[in-house]
Every structure is written in structure tokens, then in C-alpha cells.
Amino acid sequence: MFHLYTWKTPNGRKPAIALEELQLDYVVHAVDINNEQQFQPEFVAISPNSKIPALVDDANGLKIFESGVILEYLADRTGKLLPTSGAARYETLQWLYWQVGGLGPMFGQLAFFANRAKEKIPLAIERYLTESNRLLDVLERRLAASPYVGSEDYSIADIAIYPWVVSVINNIPQLLGDLAATRPALKRWMDSVAARPAVVKGMAVLNDYTPDARIA
């Protein structure tokens, strides 16, 4: 049994999708970051950086934080969603960490300065908008050459990237515009990933959560 400590964010969705894709038994523990539950001592004991998501594997007692490492661990644990060796493995991992180190942070900063910051700073918005568009162009070129991001097969790289693009569609629609017209390969890939039943289930985790809900 796996215990997933998470919240309704793009990073929080990633391991839920992977667990669903791999058909692993797991229990969800809500960590309501809006109420600063990530700073509670019991969660810090699992995730020292006080960030979601985190995972505990009952089989060996291992505690893991950082979404990219969680995806890699689940893939290695099952031998699925990531090539086990060779060039294909590193091709997939490089796109996973491209999301972790680039796409996620840039989208997050853009959303903050464009939507949530009390003071709008045009230079900051322009900086993160420009970089986010550049990264989306990188993704478009990759998907024009490959059916999936990491390789010919669906992988943890796709799982890592998809929730972040959904977040942009929902929160910064002006960044993407008409996907079919501006980035057709990305549109094709988004439709393909969105149709996967495990993705639908993983993206819905905690959608019905309320502060009074009991999450095992």
C-alpha cells in the first residue's frame, strides 16, 4: 500500500495519475496548503521541505518527497512508464527534469505575478510570459517529432507535464490561445492524454475535499 500526501496542484496531481496508471493501491492524505498543513510536524517528518507531494511505501517504509523522484520511484518499482535502461531511459528522464526545473517553475511564477500578486509588475510578467512561451515552443517542436514527450511510448514525462499545461489552460488562457491553430502538436497530445481513464481519475483526486472531510 502507498500513502500519497498531496493537494490540488499540478505537482500534487502527478503521482496520483501515476498511481492510477500503474493500478497500485494507495490512500490519499490531504495536505491543505491553503491552511498551511504542510508545516505540521507530522508532514515535515515525511517531507522536510514542507512541500507536497510526498509518498510513503508501506512495503519498505520508504518516505519520498519531490514529485519527479516520486514518479521515477514508482516507475522503477513496477518496471513501467520508464525504460529500464539505455538511451530511451535518459531521453525520458531529461524531459521529466525539464518539467521539474523549467516548465513548472516558470508557469508557477507567471501565474503568481499575472494573477495572484497584489502589485502587478509588468517587467516580471513579461519575463515569465516570454520564458513560458519559449518552453511551450520547445514542447511543441518535441511533440511534432514524437507521439509522446519522452519517447515513442507514454511515460512519466507525459504525466509530469500534462497537469501543468492544464493549469495554464485554466488559469492563464491567454498564454495558449487557440491551441489547434497555434500549437497543433500540443493540442493533439493534450487530447490523447486527457482521454486516458487513469489521467481522469488522477486529476480528480481531492476535488471533493472540504476542510471537514475525513481523508484516511
Residue 28 has pLDDT above 60, yes or no: yes
Distance CA 110, CA 107 (A): 5
SS (H, E, C) the chain: CEEEEECCCHHHHHHHHHHHHCCCCEEEEECCHHHCHHHCHHHHCCCCCCCCCEEEECCCCEEEECHHHHHHHHHHHHCCCCCCCHHHHHHHHHHHHHHHHHHHHHHHHHHHHHHHCCCCCHHHHHHHHHHHHHHHHHHHHHHHHCCCCCCCCCCHHHHHHHHHHHHHHHHCHHHHCCHHHHCHHHHHHHHHHHCCHHHHHHHHCCCCCCCCCCCC
The confidence score (pLDDT) of residue 216 equals: 39
Same-fold call for 2-80+200-204 versus 86-196:
no
The confidence score (pLDDT) of residue 212 equals: 47
Residue 45 phi, psi (nearest 5) = -65, -25
Distance CA 187, CA 194 (A): 10
Residue 210 has pLDDT above 70, yes or no: no
The confidence score (pLDDT) of residue 61 equals: 95
Joined grid coordinates for residue 96: 521529466
- Residue in this structure with the C-alpha cell 515513442, named with its chain if needed: 152
The confidence score (pLDDT) of residue 174 equals: 76
Comparing 210 with 162, which gets the higher pLDDT?
Answer: 162
Distance CA 87, CA 40 (A): 41
Which are the contacts of 192, defined by CB distance < 8 A and separation ≥ 6? Answer: 147
pLDDT tens track for 59-99 = 999 999 999 999 999 999 999 999 999 999 999 999 999 99
pLDDT tens track for 104-142 = 999 999 999 988 899 999 999 999 999 999 999 999 999
Q: Express as a percent the part of the chain with pLDDT over 90.
A: 85
Residue 209 has pLDDT above 70, yes or no: no
> Under CATH, what is the fold of the domain 2-80+200-204?
Glutaredoxin (3.40.30)
- As its CATH architecture, domain 86-196 has Up-down Bundle (1.20)
Mean pLDDT rounded to a whole number for the chain: 93
Among candidates 32, 71, 31, 28, which has minimal Cα distance to 161?
Answer: 71
Distance CA 149, CA 155 (A): 8
Residue 5 has pLDDT above 50, yes or no: yes
β-bridge pairing 54-57 and 2-6: antiparallel
Comparing 208 with 136, which gets the higher pLDDT?
Answer: 136
* Confidence band for 211, pLDDT divided at 50, 70 and 90: low
What are the sequence ranges of the domains in the chain?
Answer: 2-80+200-204, 86-196
Spacing of C-alpha 137 from chain mean position: 19
The confidence score (pLDDT) of residue 207 equals: 85
- What residue type is assigned to position 38 of the chain? Q
The confidence score (pLDDT) of residue 214 equals: 40
Residue 36 has pLDDT above 80, yes or no: yes
